[in-house]
Amino acid sequence: MSGALKEVRNRIKSVQSTQQITKAMKMVSAAKLRRAQDAVTQMRPYAHKLQEMLSNIVSNSEGEINIALAAERAVEKVMIIVVTSDRGLCGGYNSNLIKLAKQVAKDKYPEQFAKGNVQFLPIGKKGYEHFTKNGFKVVNKFWDIFTGLSFDKVQAAAKHAMDAFANKEVDAVELIFSEFKNAATQIFVAEAFLPVKKTAKVAGQKMLILYTNQAKMF
């Protein structure tokens, strides 16, 4: 009997020790999440203002200068950039992004998709694995960008898309990503990346909630 009680006491101590460790891990994770959240929210106004400035430049330059990235032409070939994560265990986060990307391809570009003229540029392992496994046309250069993430890697991916558009290898570039709202909620966004839209069209540029759900990560 005493041996059984001793074993119970040891298990209680073990559980208490584990609780202390997980509590410390939770505090560290919360601090990291707060830093990441602050970085996202502080950067967003600058990104929006840059987009607005670029759109204004394009709007006011018609007939004066030739901006290759703003050239509108008949859409024959399309590139869809899909930003997913490298890991799972995040609810429907990745599956919803992938679903939205395929929905944009089929609904917005049905003729191009039927002809095999829609290519996917996945950023993140989960998107890359899905589109490769299911036989989609995939650009496989930048899927591991989050491994040692840096400005140079992001710049290389953006330059690939811009060069493809400027060289008329594709006629439209769409961007599929999640827009941070809070720690538990993401809004899935399909946004026209290229050609650069003029100011009058910016309001219609975002197809927020083409897939009208918000993702609950937990």
Active site residue ranges = 90
Tell me how many degrees the CA angle 204-205-210 measures, rounded to the nearest 5. Answer: 85
Considering only CA atoms, which of 139, 137, 82 is closest in space to residue 114? 137
Q: 69 to each of 31, 172, 195, how far by Cα in Å?
A: 40, 10, 5
Rounded to the nearest angstrom, the gap between the alpha carbon of residue 156 and the centroid of all alpha carbons in its chain is 16
Q: What does residue 124 show for φ and ψ, rounded to 5 degrees?
A: 120, 140
Rounded to the nearest angstrom, the gap between the alpha carbon of residue 128 and the centroid of all alpha carbons in its chain is 12
Q: 98 to each of 26, 95, 143, 200, how far by Cα in Å?
A: 30, 5, 14, 30
Which residues are bridge partners to 180 per DSSP? 186
Q: Would you say 179 and 189 are in contact if contact means Cβ atoms under 8 Å apart?
A: yes
What Rg do the C-alpha atoms of the chain give, in angstroms? 23
Rounded to the nearest angstrom, the gap between the alpha carbon of residue 187 and the centroid of all alpha carbons in its chain is 11
